[in-house]
Chain A
Amino acid sequence: MSTIILKATNICKSYFSPAKVTVLSGINLELHKGEAIAIQGASGEGKTTLLHILGALERPCSGNITVNEKLISFKDYSKTRNSLFGFIFQTYNLLEDLTVLDNVIMPAVIARKKPSKVYDHGKLLLQEVGLLDRQLFLAKLLSGGEKQRVAIARSFCNDPEIILADEPSGNLDHGNSKIIHELLISFVKKKNKSLLVVTHDEELAGLCDKRFLLKEGLLHTI
């Protein structure tokens, strides 16, 4: 756990409309390879904003982010997102009219990888999350827990270094939440990936290597 995979330095974020609101005021964070970090905090403290900034979905007002010691350039945000990050959302965000397999392989398709290889890899991931038998189902036909398992498989499709999860079990019951938590953590550990998860769930946070509390725009170690 020595290699720093992601390093955020002095990340600030303010919103200016309709009035100036400072959300993040100098966040410093290091994520090591194979490490799982949980970020907790009250609603509206800026957890999702921080996650989006770290995942190149949003630009910070100031500060730098490096991945593998390489500064993220705003010019190729989409390429960075595609190759370095895997996203898991609270509301799953699957493409409802596509099949489960098509959803899983979508990041690879966007990266314009060879279809034959992509399909095999997608099926392997589905087998790992236990949904291979659902590969040809339309995503909209799955249950919440199943959808989130598909989302986890999708986030690993392009073999990214970092998985960013925003309340992955926020919409699930306790039983399903537990399954998702164990699946996510085991996946990360098995594949030696780094995980940054924003959650209110103490159980999930407890499974992570480090826990931070976001309060008044700053990260505090718990």
Chain B
Amino acid sequence: MFEFFIALKYLIPRKKALSTALISLMSVFVISLVVWLVLVFLSVTTGIEKKWIKKLTSLNAPLRISPNQNYFSSYYYLIDSISSKSNYSNKSIEEKLASPSDPYTNEIDMEIPYYWPKAKLKSDGSTLDLVKETYSILEKERQKNPSLKFQDFEVGGALMRLSLYRSAKSDNNSLFEDEKVSFLSQMSYLLSICDKNPNLPSLYLKPSSEDLNNVLMRLEKSYESIQKDTPFIQEDLTKNDYFKQLKRFFDNVNVKKLISEKEFVFPINLLSEDKLEAFGFLENGKIKKLILLQEPAQKYSGLEKGIISFKNDSFVFKTKTGEYPVTADFFICDRPLIFDCVLNEASLEKASSAKEIFFNVKASIQGKTISGKIPYAGVKIFDFDIKTGFKEKPLNEPLWFYEINNKVVLPDIGVLLPKSLKDSGVLVGDKGYFSFAAKTATATQEQRLMFYVAGFYDPGILPIGNRCIIVPKNVTKTLFATNSLLTPEGIPTNGIFIWTDLNKIEEMKTNLEKEFSNNGLAPYFSIQTYKEFEFSKDLMEQFQSDRLLFTLIAVIIIIVACSNIISLLVLLVNDKKKEIAVLQAMGASKKSIALIFGFCGTIMGILSSLIGTLAAVFTLHNLDALVSFLSFIQGHAAFNAAFFGEKLPNTLSLDALKFILIATPIISLAAGLIPALKASRMQPSQILRAD
């Protein structure tokens, strides 16, 4: 194709046509820059959107079936309230699944009110069991698609009240002697844990050393007192119960290192016969304070230097002025000391509080090794291995959220709190209660359900995320009977979550709607995808608008950048006027001439797209460095972690790449068309005669 060959020749920069070469290089540079910018921007925003959608569909499944008003006013739902077999109480979806389709017994139960709807019957005359029928449809879908998972959920509302006991030691101005307590209250949504949710583990934040220290410190106290209005009176566990709790802790945590706290009183039993340098504060011939330095030093703020040595079965501090006996009371370290440690298992059985748990420790001071046994007092867990995943049920269940064969488990009365509460100072091991109103015949009673914090999860940017607590199913079951059918935000309190591939969601919804309609279930349930959830609808619509807006902006800036091609090609057409006429004289058609300049535009577009794409891949590969640089220039974090996550997504978006690789050459071709038309309309005779 000679047109392509000529176009290539025209685009190669030559000394003679320096201005054309410069403009063509500039055009390629500008388009590459725009391609780079659009690709990086769209990749990052698409990545963030995907991350948000993943978080959104991790807590709540991407597809949800929830009973609607027709269901709650149906015979099927109402009949439980007057049936003895149902204990005269309405049933949740899970309970309905295990109950008879029609529990009503004519002989025993009261007469059905005349205004109630009649039972819906199937074609064979039997009662249509809405829940069982739904499950059988879902089961059929699962046979077609084995990755499909579904489970019922319950949502309730309650006031969460947490008691936060903290050591007052680190706070010199505290009025509390050794412990202070604060309270945290928040109206919360309680979502029953869905152990089949495949995405929940990805939201879970593993306990930190601070969390584990808190768990260990709080372990000796019973939960029982936590719901009382006198929080200072906490009952201790019996020694046997405490041992069981300790086993649950230490069977699942291997403490590797301990760190000493501020003003750590150095245990004398760790000293050996090795001589150690220390600095003493002496007053009236007595040691007031003795500071052990981790590294040898010449001076220490005016204190007297001396050596600790072993003499006559005891340790003495020897200075130029004399010798003083060393006792533990005033012996401290200059800075936190890190110990390698191994738990002294034997101490667990005897322990009645955390201070009676012992560790065998080893550390290095002034190049000399010290070792011995120290209690869990004045030290904290610093490094550890924690177990959160098991193949079978562990003998001693962890005190935190864990998995058995990818199925998530909340231990006894543990709950998962949103990350924002962790940021407010709540730690794993903190205890509290849910307060909710239960109506009785004469009054509304406040009822309290105890819980402890078994972990935290990241709810992403869900508007209700910061108020959503994941709780064991028995908590929501207790609340279910007392609450309304919808939460104030319109979230259904009961329903079925369905997890499947995000790309198949719409198809799955259509299938289910069809099946529901064929089986007479359609009037009783609404099937919604995550795009329609009441709390995410606005966000999803915003995502869609944003995407459209970004694409529009991208197209506009690509058009602006490609318009450079017009000026370059107009210049090129004027420059190559004579050659165009010669080509025409040799028989090149107007179409061929237009094609040459069209190719010029397209080649530039493709070349720029490739350069821009390579630059974008390189930038995305080094995005963290770029973000750090931007943060450094601004003096603060360039991107807020709450919105963008800890790290900006750095995967090249294939959709963005497709868009760029299609849009840029097309726009470049369009830009080349104007000069191409100009060239094709030239009269060869006039140009050749002008010679």
Residues of A whose CB lies within 8 Å of any CB of B are 48-49, 52, 55, 57-58, 78-83, 87, 89-91, 93-98, 106-107, 109-112, 154, 158
Q: A78-B589, A97-B9, A98-B9 known; A109 and B578 CB under 8 Å?
A: no
- A contact residues around B590 at 8 Å (CB): 78
Which of B68-76, B341-349, B579-587 contacts the other chain?
Answer: B579-587
Please tell me if the beta carbons of A93 and B578 are within 8 angstroms of each other in the complex: yes
- B contact residues around A91 at 8 Å (CB): 691
Q: A95-B579, A97-B9 known; A81 and B689 CB under 8 Å?
A: no
- A contact residues around B582 at 8 Å (CB): 89, 93-95
Q: Does B588 reach chain A (CB closer than 8 Å)?
A: yes
- B contact residues around A94 at 8 Å (CB): 582
Going nearest first, the 7 A-B pairs with the smallest beta carbon separation are A82-B587, A58-B685, A78-B589, A93-B582, A109-B2, A57-B685, A52-B685
Please tell me if the beta carbons of B587 and A107 are within 8 angstroms of each other in the complex: yes
Q: Does B267 reach chain A (CB closer than 8 Å)?
A: no
Please tell me if the beta carbons of A78 and B588 are within 8 angstroms of each other in the complex: yes
Please tell me if the beta carbons of A87 and B586 are within 8 angstroms of each other in the complex: yes
Please tell me if the beta carbons of A110 and B587 are within 8 angstroms of each other in the complex: yes
Please tell me if the beta carbons of B691 and A87 are within 8 angstroms of each other in the complex: no
Please tell me if the beta carbons of B586 and A90 are within 8 angstroms of each other in the complex: no
Q: How far is the CA of A147 from the CA of B320 in the complex (A)?
A: 107
Please tell me if the beta carbons of B579 and A78 are within 8 angstroms of each other in the complex: no
- B contact residues around A58 at 8 Å (CB): 683, 685
- A contact residues around B205 at 8 Å (CB): none
Q: Does B592 reach chain A (CB closer than 8 Å)?
A: yes
Q: How far is the CA of A98 from the CA of B582 in the complex (A)?
A: 13
Q: How far is the CA of A52 from the CA of B691 in the complex (A)?
A: 14
Most buried by A among B583, B588, B592, B688: B688
Please tell me if the beta carbons of B688 and A93 are within 8 angstroms of each other in the complex: yes
Q: A89-B691, A91-B691, A95-B579 known; A111 and B587 CB under 8 Å?
A: yes
Considering the complex, give the chain A residue whose CB is closest to the CB of B588.
A110
Q: Does B684 reach chain A (CB closer than 8 Å)?
A: yes
Q: How far is the CA of A158 from the CA of B588 in the complex (A)?
A: 13
| 5 residue pairs A–B, Cβ–Cβ below 8 Å | A81-B584, A82-B588, A83-B587, A87-B585, A158-B587
Q: How far is the CA of A81 from the CA of B588 in the complex (A)?
A: 9
Q: A93-B578, A97-B9, A98-B9 known; A106 and B685 CB under 8 Å?
A: no
Q: A57-B685, A109-B2 known; A81 and B691 CB under 8 Å?
A: no
Please tell me if the beta carbons of B586 and A107 are within 8 angstroms of each other in the complex: yes
Q: How far is the CA of A19 from the CA of B581 in the complex (A)?
A: 26
- A contact residues around B689 at 8 Å (CB): 48-49, 52
Q: How far is the CA of A93 from the CA of B584 in the complex (A)?
A: 12
- B contact residues around A87 at 8 Å (CB): 585-586
Please tell me if the beta carbons of A52 and B688 are within 8 angstroms of each other in the complex: yes
Please tell me if the beta carbons of B691 and A90 are within 8 angstroms of each other in the complex: yes
A199 to chain B, nearest CB (A): 16
Q: Does B122 reach chain A (CB closer than 8 Å)?
A: no
- A contact residues around B685 at 8 Å (CB): 49, 52, 57-58
- A contact residues around B691 at 8 Å (CB): 89-91, 93
- A contact residues around B5 at 8 Å (CB): 109
Q: How far is the CA of A207 from the CA of B590 in the complex (A)?
A: 37
Taking a contact as CB atoms closer than 8 A, the residue among A49, A81, A96 that contacts B586 in the complex is A81
Q: Does B14 reach chain A (CB closer than 8 Å)?
A: yes
Query: In B157-199, which residues have CB < 8 Å from any A CB?
Result: none
B604 to chain A, nearest CB (A): 18
B21 to chain A, nearest CB (A): 13
Please tell me if the beta carbons of A79 and B587 are within 8 angstroms of each other in the complex: yes
Taking a contact as CB atoms closer than 8 A, the residue among A52, A78, A89, A96 that contacts B587 in the complex is A78
Q: How far is the CA of A100 from the CA of B587 in the complex (A)?
A: 19
Q: How far is the CA of A125 from the CA of B282 in the complex (A)?
A: 113
Please tell me if the beta carbons of B592 and A57 are within 8 angstroms of each other in the complex: no
- B contact residues around A158 at 8 Å (CB): 587
Considering the complex, give the chain A residue whose CB is closest to the CB of B1.
A112
Please tell me if the beta carbons of A110 and B684 are within 8 angstroms of each other in the complex: no
Instruction: Supply 15 further A-B pairs (C-beta < 8 A) apart from A57-B684, A80-B587, A93-B582.
Output: A57-B685, A58-B685, A78-B592, A81-B587, A82-B587, A89-B688, A93-B688, A95-B579, A97-B9, A107-B586, A107-B587, A109-B5, A110-B586, A110-B588, A112-B2
Q: A52-B685, A93-B578 known; A78 and B9 CB under 8 Å?
A: no
- A contact residues around B584 at 8 Å (CB): 57, 78, 81
- A contact residues around B587 at 8 Å (CB): 78-83, 107, 110-111, 158
Considering the complex, give the chain B residue whose CB is closest to the CB of A171.
B691
Q: How far is the CA of A90 from the CA of B688 in the complex (A)?
A: 10
